């Protein structure tokens, strides 16, 4: 056990506290420092016996969260105090009433919001989604709750090393699933970027290190290029009388480089926009727009712009408040370079988002409502509508809400010329619901730029939209496929649910009578089994289908008989159908049989039955986890499976640890995509490497050539990841092969 130097720890705590006060100094008013000291002492006393997983004093964490809140987000005294106290109600004897008595109702409300959304949620799908919804509901009360929660999450991600691997995966997946998109939507680009990078660090450590090493290795070349690129621009800006400016090169984040490499299946050296040039101007608010366009004109005098890549977010800012002028120009050595032109005010809002927006809100010349305020106002309306919904709807709500967080936007106009901002891909039906629920519910079609279009017509920037309605029209399930906005989806579901409830009441009575005849008690467990058996998501949906006759009453008897046959007469009669959970029954296998298993599962690394997930086809050597399904037992997924973030974030209680043993006799099917320049004998050389040199069995090979470019998909059997890596390296050495990448599905 490590010896603890308490005196040194006390000095370090004091150093961190003083650093926090230095950062807070510009925001402090009379009496604030005294309140911060009181909060610090309260937190220090409450957490005095507590330590983090790393062994450090717990007080380091609230101090760090408060420092992020003030220094990286730009929040003030109320948030600093709330950050220092954010864990005391959850983890110590102190109660909310004590906080209100000592620090007032405002701080108590924020602490209450933070307490409701603490921790990583382990209880189950709907409860977990309900916790996310509770966090989002705090937008209705005080946005600072979410901002402090983001600071808390950022510090937890920065100190994730001390957590066990399965916890790292769960926390990282939850972060990429909801917290990074939230940071993006609230305009906190610096925090969003770091959260994404840290997610990659813990879920794909090897890939993260490779890209970080590549970025570091190319740093000198990049700096030389940037110096050469900005030289003539700097001279011309000074010549034109623009003196207060900074030009800097900003490398892309590791996550965004990895994302581009993955999506386009290209190596690091083919990611052409590894960095962006940013021009930051210090000018009065009223001159911002004119100066930014003047700088654009100067830059395009030296370098040819790509007309398809001009983005004007100065005239029409993004809905999270982001303002900037983006262009992509051809650099001096024949490569495309992204250039971002913005003012000091815009840059601070781009980095610190919501808090920076409020700092500039009351400045002269800034009297328009920001897109961020409008977005938060819309979210508040949407959240208010969902407050009374059942926990089952929370999963749908969080999924819809999240899907809108990263969406690009489309700018359209009403017949009177009012601007409406909708998610990219929005249809005429989305527009109708954005105007008013009743208009959406009765939407028959629309006129877009005076032309008649159907309700599923996808809108483009600049469209002018007039909605056509009919009292005979009413929403159907199909409408959910036509809309992309959270508001439209929530409203359509709400209307459909009301219609379903009437049919469901009748259906419930039919089910109750049928189960009574079979002498089975109706309870939550039997309902869970019924919904799984009839492949419906909720009991309401099941009752509705029975009520509408889509599920005949006779099939309930068939369900009973099958359950009785599988589980035994007594279990079926009492409805003792257990929900699947983490404490799985250990398999009692013959020792000879156990040798055949290749994956050990759970905290005790037991031998359990499993299936390999088809969505990512894991092979030995891949980092994997187990997911307990309702009907198919445990499925093994790769940690970088496309579905992993959603599974881990929404179904944390069903995740179990899993790892491969070292056995190599079995072969696993995987796919390789091979791209190159076509030549005589190329296929023969490829099959020679695969079959003769490495003795790998191929299941299929499909080849396509076009204008001298060769593209092939090969399905083959490998023992493990290192076997696959060796094969890829060998194939890359074949003359004419440009790229070899793994793909997951057949």
- What would the CATH number be for the domain defined by 374-486? 3.10.20.30
Q: Which CATH class is domain 668-743?
A: alpha beta
Contacts of 597 (CB under 8 A, 6+ apart): 589, 607, 661
Structure tokens at 231: 């030289």
Note whether 214-361 and 374-486 share their fold: no
**pLDDT attached to residue 218:** 83
Known catalytic residue: 122?
no
Under 8 Å between Cβ of 275 and 252? yes
Low-confidence winner among 384-388, 488-492, 671-675 (lowest mean pLDDT) = 384-388
CA quadruple 81, 87, 92, 94: dihedral, nearest 10? 40
**pLDDT attached to residue 8:** 86
Q: Which band of pLDDT confidence, cut at 50, 70 and 90, is reported for residue 668?
A: confident
Structure tokens at 354: 């919501």
What pTM was estimated for this model as a whole?
A: 0.67
Task: Provide the 8-state DSSP code for 343.
Answer: E
As its CATH architecture, domain 214-361 has: 2-Layer Sandwich (3.30)
**pLDDT attached to residue 60:** 92
**Coil, helix or strand for 303?**
coil
Question: Torsions phi, psi of 264, nearest 5?
Answer: -100, 0
Q: Which residue is listed with tokens 């990611």?
A: 271
**pLDDT attached to residue 690:** 81
Low-confidence winner among 209-223, 320-334, 405-419, 586-600 (lowest mean pLDDT) = 586-600
**pLDDT attached to residue 578:** 38
Cα–Cα distance measured from residue 622 to residue 124, given in angstroms and rounded to the nearest whole number: 27
Q: Which residue is listed with tokens 């599923």?
A: 456
| pLDDT tens by residue, 687-711 | 888 877 666 777 788 888 777 788 8
**Coil, helix or strand for 674?**
strand
* Rg of the chain over all Cα atoms, to the nearest angstrom: 29
**pLDDT attached to residue 297:** 93
- Assign domain 6-211 one CATH number from 3.30.160.40, 1.10.3210.10, 3.90.220.20, 3.40.50.720: 1.10.3210.10
| pLDDT above 50 (res 502) | yes
Contacts of 705 (CB under 8 A, 6+ apart): 678, 711
Considering 12, 91, 494, 678, which one is annotated as catalytic? 91
Number of CB atoms found within 10 A of residue 102's CB = 15
**Mean pLDDT taken over the chain:** 79
Question: Torsions phi, psi of 480, nearest 5?
Answer: -65, -20
| pLDDT tens by residue, 110-165 | 888 787 665 444 433 455 566 666 666 666 567 788 889 899 999 999 999 888 88
Under 8 Å between Cβ of 502 and 556? no
**pLDDT attached to residue 607:** 55
Known catalytic residue: 91?
yes
| pLDDT tens by residue, 350-394 | 877 766 655 555 454 454 455 566 666 666 666 666 555 554 555
Q: What is the DSSP string of 357-403?
A: HHHHHTSTT--SPPHHHHHHHHHHHHHHHHTTS-HHHHHHHHHHHHH
**pLDDT attached to residue 404:** 59
Report domain extents, the chain: 6-211, 214-361, 374-486, 494-566, 591-660, 668-743
| pLDDT above 90 (res 531) | no
Cα–Cα distance measured from residue 202 to residue 664, given in angstroms and rounded to the nearest whole number: 27
Range 592-608 average pLDDT:
53
Distance of CA 370 to the CA centre of its chain: 24
Question: How big, in percent rounded to 5, are the helix, strand and coil portions of the chain?
Answer: 55, 15, 30
What percent of the chain lies above the pLDDT cut of 70?
81
């Amino acid at each position: 056990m490590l010896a603890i130097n308490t005196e040194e720890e006390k000095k370090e705590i004091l150093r961190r506290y003083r650093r926090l006060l230095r950062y807070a100094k510009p925001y402090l008013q009379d009496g604030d420092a005294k309140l911060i000291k009181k909060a610090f002492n309260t937190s220090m006393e409450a957490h005095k016996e507590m330590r983090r997983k790393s062994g450090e004093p717990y007080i380091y964490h609230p101090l760090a969260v408060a420092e992020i809140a003030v220094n990286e987000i730009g929040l003030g005294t109320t948030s600093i105090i709330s950050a220092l106290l954010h864990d005391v109600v959850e983890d110590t004897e102190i109660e909310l009433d004590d906080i209100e008595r000592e620090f007032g109702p405002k701080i108590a409300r924020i602490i209450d919001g933070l307490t409701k959304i603490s921790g990583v949620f382990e209880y189950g799908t709907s409860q977990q989604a309900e916790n996310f919804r509770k966090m989002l509901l705090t937008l209705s009360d005080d946005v600072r709750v979410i901002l402090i929660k983001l600071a808390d999450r950022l510090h937890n991600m920065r100190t994730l090393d001390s957590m066990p691997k399965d916890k790292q995966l769960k926390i990282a997946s939850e972060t990429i699933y909801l917290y990074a998109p939230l940071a993006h939507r609230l305009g906190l680009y610096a925090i969003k970027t770091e959260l994404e990078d840290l997610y990659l660090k813990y879920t794909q450590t090897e890939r993260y290190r490779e890209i970080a090493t590549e970025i570091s290795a190319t740093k000198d070349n990049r700096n030389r290029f940037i110096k050469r690129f900005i030289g003539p621009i700097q001279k011309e800006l000074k010549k034109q009388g623009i003196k207060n400016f900074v030009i800097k090169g900003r490398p892309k984040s590791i996550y965004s480089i990895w994302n581009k490499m993955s999506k386009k299946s290209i190596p690091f050296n083919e990611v052409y926009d590894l960095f962006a040039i940013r021009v930051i101007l210090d000018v009065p608010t009223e001159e911002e727009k004119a100066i930014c366009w003047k700088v654009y004109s100067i830059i395009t005098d030296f370098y040819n712009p790509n007309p398809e890549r001009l983005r004007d977010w100065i005239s029409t800012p993004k809905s999270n408040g982001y303002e900037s002028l983006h262009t992509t120009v051809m650099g001096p050595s024949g490569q495309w370079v992204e250039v971002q032109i913005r003012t000091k005010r815009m840059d601070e809002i781009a980095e610190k988002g919501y808090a920076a927006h409020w700092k500039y809100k009351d400045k002269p010349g800034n009297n328009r409502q920001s897109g961020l305020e409008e977005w938060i106002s819309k979210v508040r309306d949407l959240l208010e509508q969902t407050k009374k919904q059942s926990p089952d709807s929370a999963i749908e709500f969080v999924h819809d809400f999240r899907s809108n967080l990263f969406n690009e936007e489309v700018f359209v106009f009403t017949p009177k010329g009012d601007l409406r901002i909708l998610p990219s891909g929005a249809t005429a039906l989305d527009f109708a619901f954005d105007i008013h629920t009743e208009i959406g519910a009765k939407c028959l079609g629309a006129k877009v730029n005076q032309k008649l279009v159907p309700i599923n017509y996808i809108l483009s920037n600049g469209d002018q939209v007039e909605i056509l309605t009919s009292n005979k029209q009413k929403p159907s399930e199909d409408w959910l496929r036509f809309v992309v906005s959270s508001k439209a989806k929530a409203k359509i579901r709400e209307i459909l649910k009301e219609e379903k409830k009437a049919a469901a009441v009748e259906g419930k009575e039919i089910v109750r009578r049928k189960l009574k005849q079979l002498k089975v008690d109706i309870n939550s467990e039997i309902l869970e089994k019924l919904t799984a058996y009839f492949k419906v998501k909720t009991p309401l949906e099941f009752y509705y289908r029975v009520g509408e006759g889509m599920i005949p009453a006779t099939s309930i008897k068939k369900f009973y008989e099958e359950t009785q046959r599988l589980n035994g007469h007594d279990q079926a009669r009492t409805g003792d159908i257990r929900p699947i959970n983490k404490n799985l029954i250990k398999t009692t296998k013959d020792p000879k049989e156990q040798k055949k298993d290749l994956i050990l599962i759970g905290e005790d690394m037991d031998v359990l039955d499993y299936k390999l997930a088809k969505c990512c086809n894991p092979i030995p050597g891949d980092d994997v986890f187990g997911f307990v399904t309702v009907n198919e037992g445990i499925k093994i997924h790769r940690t970088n499976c496309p579905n992993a973030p959603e599974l881990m974030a929404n179904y944390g209680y069903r995740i179990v640890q899993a790892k491969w043993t070292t056995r190599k006799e079995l072969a696993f099917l995987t796919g390789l995509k091979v791209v190159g320049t076509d030549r005589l004998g190329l296929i023969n050389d490829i099959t020679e490497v695969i079959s003769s040199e490495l003795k790998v069995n191929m299941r299929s090979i499909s080849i396509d050539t076009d204008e001298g470019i060769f593209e092939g998909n090969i399905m083959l059997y490998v023992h493990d990841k290192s076997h696959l890596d060796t094969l890829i390296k060998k194939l890359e050495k074949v003359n004419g092969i440009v790229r070899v990448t793994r793909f997951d599905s057949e």
